[in-house]
Amino acid sequence: MDFQGKVVVVTGGASGMGEASARAFAKAGARVVIVDRNQERAEQVAREAGALAWVGDVSDSAFCNRVVAETLAQYSRLDVLVNAAGIIVRARGEDTTDEQWNRILGVNVSGTFFMCRAAIKAMKPQGSGAIVNFGSIWGDLGADGVAAYCASKGAVHNLTRALALEHAKDGLRINAVCPGEVNTPMLLSERKEPVTPELLQRLADTVPMGRLADPAEIAEVVLFLASSKASYMTGSLVLVDAGFAAR
């Protein structure tokens, strides 16, 4: 998959699957813009990948508009948007605070929408562009203890479908990758017990293949969905879960 000359924006590009995607696009020849709240990490990944870094919060629509505007000012086009920025709250619904609920929807749903909206306005005049949103297996499956996260990813799934239909004749393709259990900082965050090899093994044991995914494995699917090899795909939710949802 060759992205020579393509301009790619990756939110959440400073860690986890976003970082893996940003590095993979850069390796494939793309000019990459990393968007993240973690300035130190974003700048480090950008230096190593030969990318640009924009630091800010995607739940702020004005920031999202600026990211796209500055990308156009720098490169005169935008070919791919990857919405990998996301957070998780490990709480049952009854224990989820207003602040937690609003924050997770602000980042996972509003942030995805704001970036999509800004990118679509840039891509439509070109007559081409691809957007890959990060959904999750938990966007369609229920799970105990992550009610707000499940709700947010379900919203991302239907937002992806709706936007894909709205722009199917504009030359834009909008899909979502839906990972299962991936060995990322977010997977290990907010745990009520220490993160140990035993905990990782218990998580791996819930997966039919018996292991956690490496972020780079998810990045390969992101690149496929953004590439011309997926030219007849839009509105698709692509599970990358080692068979978790097949049971």
Asked if the model's pLDDT at residue 185 lies above 90, the reply is: no
Within-domain flag for 52:
yes
- In this structure, is residue 168 part of a structural domain? yes
Any idea which residue has 């990358």 for tokens?
Answer: 240
Least confident interval from 69-78, 98-107, 179-188, 198-207: 179-188
Is residue 178 one of the residues assigned to a domain?
yes
Based on the structure, what is the number of domains in the chain? 1
Q: Is residue 246 part of a domain?
A: no
Domain residues for the domain of 96 are 7-185+214-238
Residue 19's CATH number: 3.40.50.720
On whether the CB atoms of residues 113 and 159 are closer than 8 A, the answer is yes
**What is the average per-residue pLDDT within 160-178?**
98
Helix (H) or strand (E) holding 26: helix 16-27
> Tell me, what DSSP letter sits at residue 75?
H
Max intra-chain CA distance, the chain: 52
| 149 assigned to active site | yes
Q: Is residue 66 part of a domain?
A: yes
pLDDT at 199: 87
Q: Which of 25, 54, 138, 149 is catalytic?
A: 149
86-106 confidence digits (pLDDT tens) = 999 999 999 999 999 999 999
59 in a domain, yes or no? yes
- Could you report the per-residue pLDDT of 196-244, keeping only the tens digit for each? 888 889 999 999 999 999 999 999 999 999 999 999 999 999 999 999 9
Mean pLDDT of the chain: 96
The Cβ-side half-sphere exposure at 224, using a 13 Å CA radius, reads 12
Output the pLDDT for position 191. Answer: 67
Query: How many Cβ atoms are within 10 Å of 127's Cβ, its own excluded?
Result: 9
Q: What DSSP element (H or E) covers 33?
A: strand 31-36
What would the pLDDT profile of 11-61 be if each residue is shown by its tens digit?
A: 999 999 999 999 999 999 999 999 999 999 999 999 999 999 999 999 999
In 31-78, alpha helices (H): 39-49, 61-75
CA distance 182 to 211: 9
CA dihedral over 100, 40, 84, 9, signed as positive or negative: positive
